[in-house]
Structures are given as structure tokens and as C-alpha cells.
Amino acid sequence: MILNNKRLIGFSTGILYHTYPSASKEMIQICKNMGCDIIELNCPVERFDLMDKLKQSDLRDFKFVSFHLPCGVSSKNFEFLKKVQSFHNKLKFDEVVVHPDVIEDWNVLKLFNLPFSIENMDEKKKIGRTLESMKKIMSQNDYNVTLDINHCYVNDPTLKLAEDLWDEFKGRISHFHLSGYEKSHDPLIVTKQTSFIDFMKNKDRPIIIESVCKDLNQAKKEFNYIVNYLE
């Protein structure tokens, strides 16, 4: 998605989770102040109280808003999914990102009016790591795909997997997740893995940066580094 010739780029609110509560109004304001056009709300279940406090007006300046389903919340957690539905009814998410390994029953997701987007997985997961696995998963539903370049890299450092996923699901990919990799989701300004950003050039999807930064100053540098590189 490109608006007025400008690529839509923003942060996951979890990038400074060591310092700021992930779904707090303060973190959302930080993303606004840095110039983020889009945002992905990331909030652990134990801090759903922060989501309860948010209003649609808190997010109105963003052109794309996604919500990452908390890790560990599976299709068995019906009450938590009902809570996510209430958040969506209030905040109007464009996408709700979910890890496929926690979905024991895809029919449960169909009980909710949520715009799910299925994320490809890293090397620690049993499914969602390969093209064939993602094809099997996506054949069971009509949801979108969130393509995580970091997760592609740990399964295939050549990034051919990323290109294969793009070619296969281009019409269903809603947005990208971008971060470097040394140990986990590391800042690209540190890892200098420019091939990750190169992959996203000429691909018109919003980019959510998931790089976990040590402080606000590094987060600002990470944002500017990626924006400038893509220009």
C-alpha cells in the first residue's frame, strides 16, 4: 500500500517493551511523533487493561492499524478471542495477526468477525515455516498473510523462501514484518542486513518494523534508517 507516492511504514508497539508498556497511549504517541504512518498493536494478555483504555481516536492518525494476537492465545482461548473481538468492534483493526501453530481448530476462528492475517513462522515452530506448509495452512481458510522477513531468513538465509511466499500469496499478503536477525528481532541499523529491506522494494505493502530497540534514541535511528534506505 502506497499513499500519495509515500510508502506506509510504522512500528509494532512492542519495539520498546523493556521501557514502555506495549499498548499504552504513551507508546502510541511515540510512534506518532516518530512519523509512523501505520502501527501494529502488540499487547500481552496480562496487559489487556491497556487495550480497554484505548479509543478509536487514539489511532485515527494511522492509515493502517493491525493487532498482533498475543503469543500463547490459541483457538482454545475462546474468552480471549471474544475480548479481541470487542477490541476490534471499538478500534476497527485492518488486520489481526495470528500464528498458525496455535490454531487447533480453524472453525473456531470463523465464529468471529475478525480480519485475521496468518504469519509465516520461524525455525522454532512445527508448521508455517516452509512454502508447502503455508500453502496447506492457507488452503484451510480465506484469510490474509503477514510475511515476516526475519522468519524467512532463519529458515532460508538466501531469502528464496521470502520470494517464493511472495509469488505464491501476493494477492493475499496484507503487510510485511521487518527486523534484523542476530539472536531474535534485532535492529537493522545494527545488523546491516540490507537484503531484508531490498526484498521490500517495489512491493507495495505496508511495513511494520518489529526491531526490538534498546531505547527511544535507537528506535528513532532504526525508523529513519529504514525510511531513508527505501527512498
Beta strands in the chain (DSSP E): 2-3, 6-7, 9-12, 38-42, 64-68, 95-98, 116-119, 144-148, 173-178, 207-209
* Three-state secondary structure call for residue 32: helix
Reply yes or no on whether the pLDDT at 9 is more than 80: yes
DSSP for residue 6? E
Q: What is the pLDDT of residue 77?
A: 81
Closest CA to 129 of 100, 171, 107: 100
27, 19 Cβ separation under 8 angstroms: no
Q: What is the pLDDT of residue 79?
A: 86
Quick: pLDDT tens for 130-153: 999 999 999 999 999 999 999 999
Q: What is the pLDDT of residue 72?
A: 67
Kindly indicate the confidence band of residue 206, based on its pLDDT and cuts at 50, 70 and 90. very high
Give dist(CA 48, CA 113) in Å, integer. 19
Q: What is the pLDDT of residue 44?
A: 86
Q: At 147, list the grid cell.
A: 510475511
Q: What is the pLDDT of residue 5?
A: 47
